[in-house]
Structure 1
């Protein structure tokens, strides 16, 4: 069985809380089904946009943490979109943090405190259409461009830590030649198709809509045919020399631990740290878990 199929089969019927959803998600599902019957062309266009349009949380109290940054700045991508970045513990960052989808730099407060206590200088950014950055739509290529730009802008960065979708982007940036010496991942998917599959499961898309949006995603990433695995993290990393430390919770039902296990199988110098009872979102707030990651990643 292929890695992709192993990962897909691990999710079964997608009946975990993240896929069952809250009342607003259930209402959205119903609205999409009705709209698809009444106005299919309009619904397809709206869903195409929704797929790449992250939600932003306004007046988020976590954003207060940004005021503690030593440096705040911005950079422009090739598209002209301006993104914000922040540095803690100095001006020459050693470590770059990459947040997940619908997340942002301020969600890394616990990890930043753990790293700066060790005397490290830490940078993080708000990706396109996230946090305080500009833009309305985003994809993994935008995340990768942000990562590459930050490492180029700050030549002192030799370690990248990515959370969830940000970890997927970080691995692909390294596969594309990003010059760093250490990589840490937290609850990150390894199957690129799995990201689309999870969204489809959350929205309970019909097979017709799923097929349409699948072609939209493949076109956006310029992938041929059904070549989803091109951006899967387990593909083409057998010769990697960069040490990898992965942190994943056994009770993560949104990104199953098998996604990290598969990556560690094929990455030559990799270590998996398992936690329990934290889930997908709690792990990024757990100081003990993040300390274990930092200790292992920075051991040598």
Structure 2
């Protein structure tokens, strides 16, 4: 069985039966369902092989994380560096249209493939793996004297950015594109609609976060705290089906200058929109 957070549909009778069955299994064999659930719910099933059509990388780097090797593409030779962080079941090529514009504006651009995505190792991933990969990449680049001026994240890649330590975010421009503000709530909604008991997701999240010495509630709270503390720019489409626009509004109602609002682009096409790209480069260069 292959599960996708992007295609799960409203439940039928069979879906409700399946939800009840998985709930029972979680009660009878919680350790088994936690392991099985991690395979089912934490497998991205995204495209692993890709090519950049608009600009080829100048270099490629690899870093080691607790879940294996992580790959990143490096573009340009600018004195300031921008890091790009993609979302779930995607890869660094999602920024194919943005990268040439950033390089033309004088930046070195580092586009990361998260664990279990693109050319990085692994078949499974989760938010903590995203956070670790970003943190490790920044540490490596700083050790090589990169002047990291901006962090740009799309979808889950933006949620991961906002969970970095304070010293990774301070004094840097942070741009969040199509961010699922209610990240965990949306996960539970999609899983339930797909006919899987939310008990299984609870067990999986507890197992993963306990291994990293934290709890998923703390990760959720950290996201909102960092959004208030570091005032990132949000770029969001009103027709985003996977990261509802109304979830973002409480974060920007008091600071409309922190929002660039689009319409009709949805969750993924927003990355290739020429107006959005111009807004990003303008924000970085002013």
Q: TM-score, normalising length from structure 2? A: 0.79
1:298 aligns with 284
C-alpha separation between the residues in 1 aligned to 2:113 and 2:233?
23
Matched, 1:46 2:50: no
Q: CA RMSD in A?
A: 3.5
Secondary structure class of the residue paired with 1:96: strand
Secondary structure class of the residue paired with 1:234: helix
The answer to whether the 8 Å contact 1:244/1:270 transfers is: no
In 2 relative to 1, CA 122–236 (structure 1 residues): closer, same or farther, beyond 3 Å?
closer
In 2 relative to 1, CA 256–144 (structure 1 residues): closer, same or farther, beyond 3 Å?
same
In 2 relative to 1, CA 178–120 (structure 1 residues): closer, same or farther, beyond 3 Å?
same
2:151 aligns with 160
C-alpha separation between the residues in 2 aligned to 1:270 and 1:38?
49
1:256 aligns with 244
Of 9, 15, 35, 1:20 maps to 9
Q: Which runs of 5+ in 1 are unaligned?
A: 1-16
The answer to whether the 8 Å contact 2:58/2:75 transfers is: yes
Q: CA deviation at 1:34?
A: 9.2
1:124 aligns with 111
C-alpha separation between the residues in 2 aligned to 1:157 and 1:45?
38
C-alpha separation between the residues in 1 aligned to 2:140 and 2:209?
30
1:3 aligns with none
Q: CA deviation at 1:74?
A: 1.0
Matched, 1:227 2:217: yes
Of 178, 183, 200, 2:174 maps to 183
Once the two structures are superposed, residues 254-299 of structure 1 have per-residue CA deviations (whole angstroms, 9 ceiling, x without a partner) of 1011333233357x7961000000111111122222222332x225
In 2 relative to 1, CA 236–83 (structure 1 residues): closer, same or farther, beyond 3 Å?
closer
1:279 aligns with 266
Secondary structure class of the residue paired with 2:267: helix
Of 101, 117, 120, 1:133 maps to 120
Matched, 1:74 2:62: yes
